[in-house]
Structure 1
Amino acid sequence: MKPVFTIMSALLLAVIATVNSCPPSDRAALLAFKAALHEPYLGIFDSWTGTDCCHNWYGVSCDTESHRVADINLRGESEDPIFERAHRTGYMTGFISPEICKLTRLSSITIADWKGITGEIPKCISTLSFLRILDFVGNKISGEIPYDIGKLNRLTVLNIADNQISGRIPASLTSLSSLMHLDLRNNKISGPIPRRFGQLGMLSRALLSGNQISGPIPGSISRIYRLADLDLSMNKISGSIPASLGKMAVLATLNLDSNKISGTIPPTLLTSSIGNLNLSRNGLAGKIPDVFGPRSYFTVIDLSYNKFSGSIPRTLTVASYIGHLDVSYNHLCGRIPAGAPFDHLEASSFSHNHCLCGKPLRAC
């Protein structure tokens, strides 16, 4: 009886192992994805062997119940021992194969900081209805954002910064009702910000700097109640600053520097919850509103390289805190107020104006 029992036990274990391993279709999709990439230094794909891609395949995680592949997490910059032993960050070439879209239960895809991955974002990525995180930062991916990316109604993170993405921000992106973190920095994206950008009601960070985005700042942005960080710097944005941005409840950082923005500063920006305000290198004009008060708290106010005229607001002296103030390269005139915060600022903060005087510049 023992040989029969042993055979039955072995068969039972084999059945259990098969049931608990990833489906052959998921394994085949992963191997096709791997075949389109070349990683020459670290050997991160050396563990992708055997029939069970849910067990000890580097960067692959599976759902505990369905045993379908749920997460791909491959970062080229990591504290993982495989990087520490090699004394280097990762480098990978190739492209992201559309075969990845056959992993229909994917919840997160992170293929980040590999520096040499090219090609486009597979258009089929918008069919992955369970996807919550899409992170392709730090590669050389080109092409456009899939036009129907708005189908990913569970997506909370979209990070494609530091690539070579071109084209426009698709209108469908504004349908990502769960999106909390949007990072499109340092690409070649052009065209306007979608007019309905304010529909992204869960968004807390919108980082769009270092592109070729043009047109006005949509007033609808001010309807994003949770937005704390808005960075539109180093683009070609024109028009005026919507006063409604200064009425946003939690907006703490507003970077609009290095654009083509004109008009005046809405006083609301200086009486708001914003603590880091950078409006430098634009075409803003008029007077700096004299509306600061005891509740004003700014780590940074940078108004340099504009066309501001008039005097420096005296109410700055009653502000709770002004860490760094820069009004250089404008057309300001008159006496620099005495006392805080002016007693700790350097002359470079006031240089290249028409006729400012007083410490730290020349005496009046």
Structure 2
Amino acid sequence: MGSFMYIAILLAAIISTVHSCPPSDRAALLSFRAALNESHLGIFNSWKGNDCCHEWYGVSCDPTTHRIADINLRGESEDPLFEKAHRTGYMTGTISPSICKLERLSSLTIADWKGITGSIPSCITSLPFLRIIDLVGNKLTGSIPSTIGRLSRLTVLNVAENQLTGYIPRSLTNLSSLMHLDLRNNGIYGNIPTNFGKLRMLSRALLSRNKLTGPIPYSISYIYRLSDLDLSLNKLSGTIPPSLGKMHVLATLNLDGNHISGTIPPSLMNSRINILNLSKNAMEGYIPDSFDEKSYFMVMDLSYNKLKGSIPKSISSATFIGHLDVSHNHLCGQIPEGSPFDHLEASSFTYNDCLCGKPLKPCR
């Protein structure tokens, strides 16, 4: 009976070892954890014991290989740990290069901790199974690793709301599986790569609030899945490619707060776009008289430009226009009557040369 118990215990120990994470993964995790300091929530209190696949907060393993597959650490969460503390998370420290020893890592989320500094480890691009990089809402500095294009499986790259600088790496356009790109609120400068259109799977490209210069690449119109393009609050110049108005699923186009010049392409007025913001640029010429029943705008903001002429009459044929702002231009003439103008306020039309009619003063 004693020998039977001994064998049973031995078998249990062997099974436990087989189904736990490898010591190398555990050591890499503990090294990663040593570079971070989180003193309010105690999220790392569970990182103890030999099996990092079992109840280590934010860590998940592949059920077959028992290698670490996902690290999901969010500073803003509905987890009971956060609700009990009645606060969001705050963490300082850096992202240790030891993370790169987790060879089977598929998803890396270290988001919204507000105080994490340092750079993105360049060795991260050596992780061949990585699909998600989400580092939003920290204080990371440095640049996006130049070899980011090596991550052939990457579908999400979110490094928004940090303090990154440098150029958009040329290799980024090799990410043929990338679906979501968010670089907002950083200090990234230079031109958008001319071959940006190689990102054929991209559905969201959010690049606002950086220091990007140069023209909007024509190749963006090749991204047939793109539904949301936000290039606002940069230093972009040149003209708007007319081909953007011919994209099949583009619904949001934010170009406000740049140095874009030239005329508004007529194709934008009867496109699939329903949120169009071209405000605070240097757009000239006339508002295109090319609205039709395909025109459906929840928002159209053309304010703070150099537009002249009258408000086109074809705008009345639009199926819907929820919010329209043409203020701070050089427009003149009578504001058309009826929809959508019967529900717009005077502030939508003020600071023009000689617009008149409701909701402004009557025309003489």
Please give the range of the TM-score, normalised by the shorter of the 2 chains.
over 0.9
Deviations 1:183-232 (A, max 9, x none): 00000000000011000000000000000000000000000000000000
State the 1:271 CA deviation. Answer: 1.2
**Further displaced range: 168-177 or 288-297:** 288-297
Partner residue of 2:306?
307
Alignment of 1:75-154 (within 5 A): 75-154=74-153
For 1:341 and 1:269, locate their aligned partners in 2 and report how far apart those are by CA, in whole Å. 18
Partner residue of 2:61?
62
For 1:25 and 1:51, locate their aligned partners in 2 and report how far apart those are by CA, in whole Å. 11
Q: Say whether the 8 Å CA contact 2:349–2:355 is kept in structure 1.
A: yes
1:28 equivalent to 2:27? Answer yes
Aligned residue for 2:337, secondary structure, equals coil
Structure 1 unaligned residues grouped into runs of 5+: none
1:232 equivalent to 2:231? Answer yes
Alignment of 1:282-361 (within 5 A): 282-361=281-360
Equivalent residue letter for 1:91: Y
State the 1:295 CA deviation. Answer: 2.1
Deviations 1:280-331 (A, max 9, x none): 0000000000111122110000000000000001111111100000000000
Between the aligned residues of both structures, percent identity stands at 70
Aligned residue for 1:9, secondary structure, equals helix
For 2:57 and 2:295, locate their aligned partners in 1 and report how far apart those are by CA, in whole Å. 50
For 2:144 and 2:290, locate their aligned partners in 1 and report how far apart those are by CA, in whole Å. 42
State the 1:70 CA deviation. Answer: 0.2
Give aligned pairs, total: 363
Aligned residue for 1:73, secondary structure, equals strand
Aligned residue for 1:206, secondary structure, equals strand
Equivalent residue letter for 2:163: Q
Aligned residue for 1:191, secondary structure, equals strand
For 1:351 and 1:151, locate their aligned partners in 2 and report how far apart those are by CA, in whole Å. 51
Alignment of 1:172-251 (within 5 A): 172-251=171-250
Equivalent residue letter for 2:296: Y
Runs of 4+ in 1 over 3 A off after TM superposition: none
Aligned residue for 1:13, secondary structure, equals helix
Deviations 1:24-75 (A, max 9, x none): 0000000000000000100000000000000000000000010000000000
Alignment of 1:151-162 (within 5 A): 151-162=150-161
TM-score of the aligned structures, taking structure 1 as reference length: 0.99
Aligned residue for 1:25, secondary structure, equals helix
State the 1:353 CA deviation. Answer: 0.1
For 1:77 and 1:177, locate their aligned partners in 2 and report how far apart those are by CA, in whole Å. 30
Alignment of 1:244-263 (within 5 A): 244-263=243-262
What's the Cα RMSD here?
A: 0.4
Q: Say whether the 8 Å CA contact 2:25–2:67 is kept in structure 1.
A: yes
Deviations 1:80-132 (A, max 9, x none): 00000000000000000000000010000000000000000000000011000
For 1:352 and 1:112, locate their aligned partners in 2 and report how far apart those are by CA, in whole Å. 43
Deviations 1:144-193 (A, max 9, x none): 00000000000000000000010000000000000000000000000000
TM-score of the aligned structures, taking structure 2 as reference length: 0.99
Aligned residue for 1:294, secondary structure, equals coil
For 2:42 and 2:354, locate their aligned partners in 1 and report how far apart those are by CA, in whole Å. 63
Aligned residue for 1:5, secondary structure, equals helix
For 2:172 and 2:217, locate their aligned partners in 1 and report how far apart those are by CA, in whole Å. 15
Q: Say whether the 8 Å CA contact 2:67–2:104 is kept in structure 1.
A: yes
Aligned residue for 1:306, secondary structure, equals coil
Equivalent residue letter for 1:287: Y
Equivalent residue letter for 1:246: G
Structure 2 unaligned residues grouped into runs of 5+: none
Equivalent residue letter for 2:184: R
Equivalent residue letter for 1:139: N
For 2:56 and 2:10, locate their aligned partners in 1 and report how far apart those are by CA, in whole Å. 25
Aligned residue for 1:45, secondary structure, equals helix
